[in-house]
Chain A
């Protein structure tokens, strides 16, 4: 599809999407599938899209690959994300929701307070899949305190060192794991990279 638009002030909303939506979304999906299938591995999602700030390339590529009119997207700070929301809406058709209980995807801010995450849908015992996926930006995916990961997708254990996790993240994820099979799935993002932390992953200080 090609769209020609002359409105200069809004032009940036239409640019920066997938150059080849069919192949690019397939490529991003496989990387995200590996990221969640093998928690702790770093997925390279760079170079697919050029989103407006403050959306990272990784967060934007994930949204363009997975979001559509069936998946309300919740932004933690919509007031800071006018361009990002417009860009996402244009490229995916996904509705932005202000209702945290309806979020299929949540675009969080760095150091997002974990106390507020309890409101996201974690599914029901009949349908644990009716839950939100959190996209959490961090300062860096390396250089922080080591965390040991175990669980499905990990042969023995994996150590990650994300920098700039919110206070209480580890304790929240322990509670999240305890609610299994209900729960939230988390994608840590920084720049063009992402790490998947599905609800099955046990996280502890290494």
Chain B
């Protein structure tokens, strides 16, 4: 018998079992942060070691893995993680959202709606939505335990008082099943509504902070807001310059040294798929002074 050079999906079986138990508890208590004994991974923390460990614990030989970073399949981070699992778990990989059974992501939810049977794994840097209000873990646990979320509402309301609208645009906190306040990871708040009632299973892994949490399919997820300042997602005045898509999240791309910019889909697979289908955007950079992105006030 020849022994493999590494464990399947890198992690040893004891570690996978521990992570798997944490995932199941997370599924049973949606939005609650389950502690787990995070392992050292052969990559730096900023690369999403929590998400990588969750993916490693669930991945099997029949899976098709997609990895995105800020919506793109081709960044160094995404390419490295995809290569890591192609090597250690010998899984098929894809850039097509619809073809993936497991999607690991940093900072975006794909534009194409996820479907039943898919699993999306979020890389989470700071899992505690109350951390900026209360640095002590013992205290935040008590707050979650007693459901004393007044403070986080105060912080959001201060945003309104200062800026006239809720200024938080990333990692915008949500409430899960009317119980736990949860950090959705640093996705743009544009993506928050996609979490609500998704037919896919959503798993969250924070490596440095050693937390796993989950949203089962069809879980009720509401972005925190106020009666006089309801939650709204970012809106874009222009369509994607390349594929003409509207209602998607656009990234600003500087196209020359005079500050000309264009706005293109952050989800590269979505953009490419649309262009393959024949959609064409205006394509040309717009002048530097024009503001295209507007945060809903």
- Partner-B contacts on A (CB < 8 A): 21-23, 25-27, 29-30, 32-34, 36-38, 65-66, 68, 70-71, 124-129, 131, 133, 152-155, 180-181, 183, 185, 198-200
Contact = CB atoms under 8 A, between A and B. Distances in A.
B193 interface: no
Contacts of B8: 22-23, 26
Contacts of A32: 24
A128 B145 CA distance: 9
A33 to B, nearest CB: 6
Interface string B212-229: 001111111000000000
Contact of A129 (B29, B60, B61, B199): B29
B21 A66 contact: yes
A157 B216 CA distance: 15
A33 B218 contact: no
What are the 6 A-B residue pairs with the smallest beta carbon separation, nearest first? A125-B145, A198-B28, A129-B25, A153-B216, A126-B141, A152-B219
B201 interface: yes
A28 to B, nearest CB: 10
A52 B260 CA distance: 72
Nearest to A185: B28
B268 to A, nearest CB: 28
Contact of B58 (A29, A131, A180): A29
A154 B218 contact: yes
Contacts of A30: 58, 60
B203 to A, nearest CB: 9
Contacts of B252: none
Contact of A33 (B16, B24, B32): B24
A33 B27 contact: yes
Given A126-B141, A153-B218, A181-B32, A36 B27 contact: yes
B154 interface: no
A21, A30, A185: most-surrounded residue (chain B CB, <10 A)? A30
B275 to A, nearest CB: 33
Contact of A21 (B13, B217, B219): B13
Interface in B39-63: 57-61
Interface of B: 7-8, 13-14, 16-18, 20-30, 32, 34-35, 57-61, 141-142, 144-146, 177, 179-180, 197, 199, 201, 214-220
A59 to B, nearest CB: 15
B180 A181 contact: yes
Given A126-B141, A153-B216, 5 more contacts: A26-B59, A29-B20, A133-B24, A152-B216, A152-B218
Contacts of B145: 124-126
A1 to B, nearest CB: 10
Given A36-B27, A152-B177, A155-B199, A25 B17 contact: yes
A66 B17 contact: yes
A31 to B, nearest CB: 11
A154 to B, nearest CB: 6
23 contacts: A26-B58, A27-B60, A33-B23, A33-B27, A36-B216, A37-B27, A38-B217, A65-B20, A66-B17, A68-B17, A127-B35, A129-B22, A129-B28, A129-B32, A129-B34, A133-B24, A152-B177, A152-B215, A152-B216, A152-B220, A155-B199, A155-B217, A181-B32
Given A22-B8, A37-B217, A125-B146, A71 B30 contact: no
A23 B179 CA distance: 36
A73 to B, nearest CB: 13
B18 A33 contact: no
B22, B26, B29, B217: most-surrounded residue (chain A CB, <10 A)? B29
B58 A181 contact: no
A177 to B, nearest CB: 12
A181 B13 contact: no
Contact of A68 (B14, B25, B179): B14
Contacts of B142: 125-126
